[in-house]
Amino acid sequence: MQENFVEFNNVYKRYKMGEVTINAANGVSFSINEGEFAVVVGLSGAGKTTVLNILGGIDSCDEGKIIVGGKDISHLNSKELASYRRYDIGFVFQFYNLIPNLTAKENVELATQICRDHMDASAALDSVGLHDRKNNFPAQLSGGEQQRVSIARALAKKPKLLLCDEPTGALDYSTGKNILKLLQTKCKEDGMTVVLITHNSAITPMADRVISMRSGKVISNVVNEAPIPIEKIEW
Amino acid sequence: MKALTKNIFREIKHSKSRFLSIFAIIALSTGFFSGIKSSSPSMITTSYDYLQKNNLMDIRIVSTAGFDDDDIRAIKNMDETVDILAGYCSDLIVTDNNIDSVVRVYSLPEKTDTADKLINETILVEGRYPSADGECVIDSYYFRSKGMKLGHKIRFNEQTDNIKTKEFIKQLEYKVVGVIDTPLYLTYQRGNTTVGDGKISFYIMLQPDQFITERYTNAYVTTKASELYYDSFSDEYKNEIKKEKDDFQKLSDERIDVFRNTTLADAKKELSDAEAEFNEKKKEAEDTISDGEKELYDGQQEMADKLSEGIKKLNDGEKELADGKEQLEEGKKKYNDGIEEGKAKLTEGQAKYDEGLAQYNKGKLQFDTEISKAQSQLDKAQGEFDTQYKLFYETTKPQAETKLNLLRSAIELCNSIIEETERKINDFELITGSDTELTALYDKLDEYKSKVNEYAKQYDSGMDQLEEGEKKLNDAKAQLEEANKAFEQKKAEGMAQLNDAKIQLDSAKSQLETGKLEYDTALVQGMLELQQAENKLTEGEKELEKGKEELLTEKASAMLKMKSAREKLAAGKAEARTQLADAEAKLADARENISNLDDARWIIFDRTDNTGFSGLIEDALRVDKVAAVLPVFFLLIAALVCLTTMTRMVEERRTEIGTLKALGYSNFKIISKYLIYSALASVSGSIAGAVIGISSLPFIIVDTYSMLYTLPPTILSIDYQSFIFSAATGILCTCVVSVITCMGELKQNPASLMRPKAPKPGKRILLEYITPLWAVFNFITKVTFRNLFRYKSRLLMTVIGIAGCTALIIGGLGLKDSLSVIAPLQYDELTVYDEIYSLKSGGTVQEKAYLMSKFHADKRFAETALVDQNNISIQNTQNEKKFNYYYIVASDINDFEKFFHLRDRVTHEKKTLTDNGIIISERISQLIGAGKGEKAIINIDDTPYTVDITDIAENYAGNYICMTPAYYEKITGKTNKYHIVYTQLTEDGKQNEKAIADEWMEDDDILTVFLLKEQLEGIISTLDSLNIIVFVVVLCAAMLAMVVLYNLTNINISERIREIATIKVLGFYDLETASYIYRENIFLTVAGALAGLPLGTLFISFIIDALQMEIIMFPKYVTIMSYLIGFALTVVFSLFVNFIMFFRMKKVSMVESLKSIE
């Protein structure tokens, strides 16, 4: 397992709103090891989404260095970023972002068809426990099921890094828990590095590493030596 | 500002592209519609204003006999007349660079006393009006097109078709001092004329005083009609004018009667007087000529006589001279001879004299000698004699006498023997003795006998000799005495002779002397005389020479005189003849004029008889017809797009609506936002569109038509109705749609509204059930198809919108196709001819046949056909509207079919004329609403005949009714008057089309010739004017296509921004992302464009139906090319829009994907 698989080194991201400059990331530095289940927590506006966007290649930083799997992604152009997203990143959205016009399987295929090394779409869906719903359209699926499809879509690409943006935000408690369980399992069983953003600090005990942010800065980066399985966590 | 109001403006700010697309599409459609719709009225207003301002006459009267002041006064006194302008006009020829051009020369309008406004007022474009003799103002169009300068001189030919220019106007040359426009000409076509090549090139105007013609040629009248009705295109005006024309017609009859009884009668009398005078003059002239001829002949004769006399004299002189010369020569010779002779004579004389002298001297000497000799001789002779004498008488005589005596005795003895012998003989004989003795006796006898003879003789001789001696002595004595005497005498004689000789010599000497003197005198005198004679001769020669010369000069001068006299006579003769011929021609002209004047009439025109005027109206109406069709279609598409856009917008703002509703805003308030939004977009759009459209399109269109017409700057006449209609359609569509959509949303409760509207659920599409096909598709194609059919309404909207644009483009192009195909279709396939000759009316069948044979003989014509062709009107049996067309009756059906290819438009099946009815052009059939097998009524010479339509034939321009001569005769009971010859030229002939026409025009039997080529030019220019409309249509359709495509693509993208962001996050590259969307767009575009093809066909047929004119049927013909272009242009526009959208898509932030669904 690689140490410092993900490394943020004094990363800045500034948004100009008229005359005011907002430092969404104000010298963020942290590192995550390969195979870790990392949770970034913080209040709204703490800069955690910014960090996730930069890490996911959706956004770029203004300053600093980001290394993922030994590759510096801080100076990639948009095309290289697209390739990076394509091959290295799996993204799980808060609102699933499934294409409503495609069936579950097709949504997964949408991701796999652009990847050279990918899982079979059915297998990916099987692995998230959706054996029977493969040919259903998103509208025919429940939220949890949709999120599973979303996860399957992310995992099918065999990414180096799985990024989850409040994956339970739109789900009810137990469904959310199931999703988290799925993610934890994927991390533990497949050795997938997972970075999860949440404002819900209650779930931090399940993480291998907890990075707390406030006002665009990392205020703590704690390694949890003994993560607790999600089933045991109540909130 | 209330929060809600702020919200509206912020909404606009945030959705600029949506607002702008509504704005643009409304602007485009309103602008196009109201702009095009305003073009026609603007055109009419502009031209009408021009005519009104320049006080164009309402009625123009032309009299074939001209008007006098009484006529003008009579017209003026008509109730209808407001004002009248009498003017002159004539067509003259100008030859420039060997090219004849016909110039129409007008008099400039003059002020009349009744109105202060000039009729047909001209507009001075440049320079000034003429103020002096020899100045003119010229047609501005011609001036410009020829790049002329002021000061240019126009020089008329002295003659125009037998009529002297100076009979019309004062001068031959006019200087251009100004450039004008006149309301008489609205187009740049200057019309036709009967002189020259029949086409007027340009006009000039002169001050009226430049015209010499006594009678006015034109009367321009402004009437109550234009005072009553401003719009001279209106039916009211037309009706009024029609009434007025009738009244003027009545007046014309009266005036023509007056004319016949006065002026014409006078003219006739004048003519007969002139004729009488002419005849008299002619006779006089002929007499003069014959006198002159006689005189000339006499003169000639006289001259010849004189000349021959002179020559004779000269010859005589010459001969005389030669004689003289000869004489002189002779004289000279004589003189010389005389001299010579004289000289010789003299010399001879001298010699003679000298000889004489010498002879004398010799003679004298001889004489003297002779005398002395003679003396001595004489003396000697005396002595001799004396001796002789003594001898003879002393000796000789006595001797001789002794001898003689002896002889006598011998003779006597012999005689005695003889006698004895003789007796013996006698005796013997008697005794018969022997013969020998007898013979011996005879011999003895003979011997003695001869001896006797001889003795006798000797005696005689002796005797003689004695006697002779004696005598000789006596003789000698006599001789001596005589010699003495002769001597004496001779001496005396010689002495006398000598003396005589001496005297003679002396006289000869003196004579010689005198001769010498005389000779000398004669020598000098002869010389002198000769000199004189020579002198005289030289003089004579000189004189002769002179005489000769004189004769020659005289002859030459006489010849010259004769020649000049002859020439003078010839010239005089020729002149007299020309004058006579002129006079005769003039008389003939006058006679013809008068005979023409006999059927003098007034021709009354109104404004519509002006080609420009009616052309303008037709053009305006055509624009209006296109305007009526196209923009409506345009508007429909616009409305469709607005509808889609607003629906989309309201749906997007669902949460907001819910929130507002939850906050307690009334439905009205909530709706008002969208209403205001859409109203703002559509109202501002329609206003902006109208402003732009109305301020550009009419100008573009009218200005382009102004290239065909002389019109002042366009006066805008806004068609408010259409503006209101189009604006209202646009505004209503957008507003009503937003209201309805909002209402639909508002029916739900706020809570459900605030919940994100579940995205439209994905669904299996029909295509998926066709498993084999679906399996073939790759994933992206499947996605595309599923997406396509996800929003069926949008699909439909897009396809319809794009199809509409394609149809519009095809419509525009197809219109052009249809127009451009008319000429080739009509004149290459249907009616094939090159030149039409119309023959002078009248003429017998034989004459016609002769003329036709001439046509046949001209090898430049490939085919000819003689037909009867005339204008008639046709209507259906329900007696509805009459339409004017011409009928064609061919003298020979076979010939006819070579020119008129009657066929079915669709099947091209050949139609054949029968004796059972007529075949009419398709357009006629459409207009009268009667088809094959039905009946129609045709009016020939105001008599209606019911005819059977046996067939309908394809035809576009120059529609006609054709029938066989038999049918014509059957229905009318009359025979045809064939007078039109259709011709087709050979390939060679086509090169010289004009030349052939000109040549034939020389023929007195040919009235006019009509070249297809020239007609085609006219048709083409008419159709070209429609191209402007086509261009505008295509341009607007293109713009519309752009806006529609932009709008629809825009909606498509904004609807799917989240989707786009998501796939971007998934790692789709920009192009992949774009193609994910574009596949749909491309599919929609192609589908739309494809759907547009049949729609285009439909659309064209719609436009063309609207455009159809009475005289021309527009074929519904669209080239494949136009379809291709329509299709391609749409695709290109779509690609262009997508290209623009690519950047927008690129800008879509992936962060969007993280946002919650609103």
Q: Kindly determine whether residue A114 and residue B786, on different chains, have CB atoms separated by under 8 Å.
A: no
Rounded Cα–Cα distance for residues B876 and B703 (Å): 41
Rounded Cα–Cα distance for residues B853 and B861 (Å): 12
Could you tell me which residues come within 8 angstroms of residue B688 by beta carbon, excluding any fewer than 6 positions away?
Answer: B23, B27, B31
Q: Kindly determine whether residue B790 and residue A102, on different chains, have CB atoms separated by under 8 Å.
A: no
Q: B180 with B121: CB under 8 angstroms?
A: no
- Closest-CA distance of chain B to residue A225, Å: 32
B612-642: pLDDT as tens digits: 676 677 777 777 776 676 667 777 777 777 7
* Range from B120-129, B517-526, B958-967 carrying the lowest mean pLDDT: B517-526
Q: Kindly determine whether residue B762 and residue A49, on different chains, have CB atoms separated by under 8 Å.
A: no
| Domain edge (last residue) among B958, B982, B1003 | B1003
B1157 at the A interface (CB within 8 A)?
A: yes
Identify the pLDDT of residue B612: 65
Residue B328, in any domain of the structure: no
Q: Kindly determine whether residue A79 and residue B1151, on different chains, have CB atoms separated by under 8 Å.
A: no
Rounded Cα–Cα distance for residues B143 and B182 (Å): 14
B873-904: pLDDT as tens digits: 888 888 667 777 888 888 888 888 888 999 99
Identify the pLDDT of residue B919: 92
| Nearest by CB: B783 against A102, A137, A165 | A102
B1153 has pLDDT over 70: no
Q: Kindly determine whether residue B1058 and residue A97, on different chains, have CB atoms separated by under 8 Å.
A: yes
A135 at the B interface (CB within 8 A)?
A: no
Residue B150, in any domain of the structure: yes
* Helix or strand run (H / E) with residue B980: strand B980-985
Q: What is the DSSP string of chain A?
A: --TTSEEEEEEEEEEEETTEEEEEEEEEEEEE-TT-EEEEEE-TTSSHHHHHHHHTTSS--SEEEEEETTEE-TT--HHHHHHHHHHHEEEE-TT----TTS-HHHHHHHHHTT-SS---HHHHHHHTT-SS-TT--GGGS-HHHHHHHHHHHHHHT--SEEEEESTTTTS-HHHHHHHHHHHHHHHHHH--EEEEEES-GGGGGG-SEEEEEETTEEEEEEE-SSPPPGGG---
B666-675: pLDDT as tens digits: 888 888 888 8
List CB contacts (< 8 A) between B1157 and chain A: 95
**Higher local confidence (pLDDT), B1076 or B840:** B1076
Q: In this structure, what token pair is assigned to residue B28? A: 């485009």
Please count the structural domains in chain B.
2
Q: A209 with A221: CB under 8 angstroms?
A: yes
Place of tokens 């690129």: B1146
Residue B124, in any domain of the structure: yes
B982-996: pLDDT as tens digits: 998 888 888 888 788
Domain with B893, as residue range(s), is 841-1003
Window A:35-94, CB contacts with B under 8 Å: 49, 53, 56, 58-59, 78-79, 82-87, 89, 91, 93-94
**Higher local confidence (pLDDT), B740 or B1158:** B740
Q: Kindly determine whether residue A95 and residue B1157, on different chains, have CB atoms separated by under 8 Å.
A: yes
Question: Nearest CA to B954 among B828, B1117, B1113?
Answer: B1113
Please tell me the pTM assigned to this model: 0.59
| Nearest by CB: A113 against B779, B786, B1058 | B779
Q: Kindly determine whether residue B1062 and residue A93, on different chains, have CB atoms separated by under 8 Å.
A: yes
Angle at B394 between CA B392 and CA B395, to 5 degrees: 70
- For CA atoms B545, B548, B552, B558, the dihedral sign is positive
| Domain edge (last residue) among B984, B1003, B1022 | B1003
Tell how strand A37-42 and strand A89-92 pair up.
unpaired
Identify the pLDDT of residue B178: 92
**Higher local confidence (pLDDT), B1031 or B921:** B921
Rounded Cα–Cα distance for residues B1061 and A200 (Å): 26
B1055 at the A interface (CB within 8 A)?
A: no
List CB contacts (< 8 A) between A115 and chain B: 1067
Q: B938 with B873: CB under 8 angstroms?
A: yes
A68-100: pLDDT as tens digits: 988 898 888 888 888 898 888 898 888 888 888
| Nearest by CB: A93 against B782, B1069, B1153 | B1153
Residue B463: which region, alpha, beta or left (left: phi > 0; alpha: psi -120 to 50)?
alpha
Tally of CB atoms within 10 A around B380: 10
**C-alpha distances out from residue B722 to B618, B626, B727, B728, Å:** 20, 13, 8, 9
List CB contacts (< 8 A) between A118 and chain B: none
Could you tell me which residues come within 8 angstroms of residue B726 by beta carbon, excluding any fewer than 6 positions away?
Answer: B29, B30, B33, B34, B631, B635, B686, B690
Percent of chain A with pLDDT over 90: 12
Tell how strand A161-165 and strand A193-198 pair up.
parallel
Q: What is the DSSP string of A11-35?
A: EEEEEEETTEEEEEEEEEEEEE-TT
Q: Could you tell me which chain A residue has the CA closest to the CA of B765? A: A101
B769 at the A interface (CB within 8 A)?
A: no
Q: B64 with B597: CB under 8 angstroms?
A: yes
Q: B30 with B22: CB under 8 angstroms?
A: no
Identify the pLDDT of residue A211: 92
Q: In this structure, what token pair is assigned to residue B1004? A: 């007195």
pLDDT grade for B802, boundaries at 50, 70 and 90: confident
List CB contacts (< 8 A) between A99 and chain B: 762, 783, 1059, 1062-1063
B76-107: pLDDT as tens digits: 888 888 888 888 888 888 877 666 788 889 98
Average pLDDT of the segment spanning B998-1005: 78
Dihedral pair phi/psi, residue A58, rounded to 5°:
-85, -30
Question: Nearest CA to A138 among B696, B97, B786?
Answer: B786
Rounded Cα–Cα distance for residues A114 and A85 (Å): 11
Question: Nearest CA to B439 among B421, B459, B466?
Answer: B421
Could you tell me which residues come within 8 angstroms of residue A72 by beta carbon, excluding any fewer than 6 positions away?
Answer: A65, A66
Q: In this structure, what token pair is assigned to residue B656? A: 């907001």
Identify the pLDDT of residue B694: 86
Q: In this structure, what token pair is assigned to residue A108? A: 């997964």
Average pLDDT of the segment spanning B639-663: 80
In terms of Cβ atoms closer than 10 Å to its own Cβ (0-12, 13-18, 19+), residue B13 is exposed
Rounded Cα–Cα distance for residues B1073 and B1080 (Å): 12
List CB contacts (< 8 A) between B789 and chain A: none
List CB contacts (< 8 A) between A86 and chain B: 1066-1068
Average pLDDT of the segment spanning B416-440: 76
Dihedral pair phi/psi, residue B889, rounded to 5°:
-120, 120
Q: B1045 with B1131: CB under 8 angstroms?
A: no
List chain A domain ranges.
33-59+87-232
Rounded Cα–Cα distance for residues B344 and B326 (Å): 25
Dihedral pair phi/psi, residue B473, rounded to 5°:
-70, -40
- For CA atoms B1144, B1147, B1153, B1157, the dihedral sign is negative
CATH no. of A33-59+87-232: 3.40.50.300
SS3 B712: coil
A149-166: pLDDT as tens digits: 998 998 888 888 999 988
A107 at the B interface (CB within 8 A)?
A: no
B1069 at the A interface (CB within 8 A)?
A: yes
Q: A111 with A154: CB under 8 angstroms?
A: yes
* Helix or strand run (H / E) with residue B1000: helix B993-1001
ipTM tops the 0.95 cut: no
In terms of Cβ atoms closer than 10 Å to its own Cβ (0-12, 13-18, 19+), residue B889 is buried
List CB contacts (< 8 A) between A85 and chain B: 1064-1067
Rounded Cα–Cα distance for residues A113 and A107 (Å): 10
* Helix or strand run (H / E) with residue B918: strand B918-921
List CB contacts (< 8 A) between A137 and chain B: 761-763
Q: Could you tell me which chain B residue has the CA closest to the CA of A162? A: B1066
Q: Could you tell me which chain B residue has the CA closest to the CA of A105? A: B779
Question: Nearest CA to A31 among A67, A81, A74, A58?
Answer: A67
Rounded Cα–Cα distance for residues B526 and B127 (Å): 104
Rounded Cα–Cα distance for residues B14 and B33 (Å): 30
Mutation pick from A51, A79, A101, A115 vs chain B, by most beta carbons of B within 10 Å, is A101
B1 has pLDDT over 60: no
Q: Read off the amino acid at residue B366.
A: Q
Q: B81 with B170: CB under 8 angstroms?
A: no
Window A:8-37, CB contacts with B under 8 Å: none
| Domain edge (last residue) among B609, B632, B661 | B609
Residue B811, in any domain of the structure: no
Percent of chain A with pLDDT over 70: 100
Question: Nearest CA to B245 among B215, B221, B216, B218?
Answer: B221
Q: Could you tell me which chain A residue has the CA closest to the CA of B1069? A: A82
* Sheet hosting strand A209-214, strand order edge to edge: A89-92, A161-165, A193-198, A37-42, A209-214, A217-223
B1051-1067: pLDDT as tens digits: 778 777 888 888 888 88
Tell how strand A209-214 and strand B200-206 pair up.
unpaired
**Higher local confidence (pLDDT), A134 or B96:** A134
Q: Kindly determine whether residue B1070 and residue A82, on different chains, have CB atoms separated by under 8 Å.
A: yes
Q: A191 with A37: CB under 8 angstroms?
A: no
B1158 has pLDDT over 50: no
Residue B306, in any domain of the structure: no
* Range from B19-28, B718-727, B787-796 carrying the lowest mean pLDDT: B787-796
Window B:731-760, CB contacts with A under 8 Å: 758-760
A111 at the B interface (CB within 8 A)?
A: yes
Q: Kindly determine whether residue B1067 and residue A83, on different chains, have CB atoms separated by under 8 Å.
A: yes
Window A:162-221, CB contacts with B under 8 Å: 165, 170
B137 has pLDDT over 90: yes
List CB contacts (< 8 A) between A102 and chain B: 762, 783, 786
Average pLDDT of the segment spanning A21-41: 89
Residue B956, in any domain of the structure: yes
Rounded Cα–Cα distance for residues B17 and B13 (Å): 9
* Sheet hosting strand B59-67, strand order edge to edge: B81-87, B216-223, B59-67, B602-606
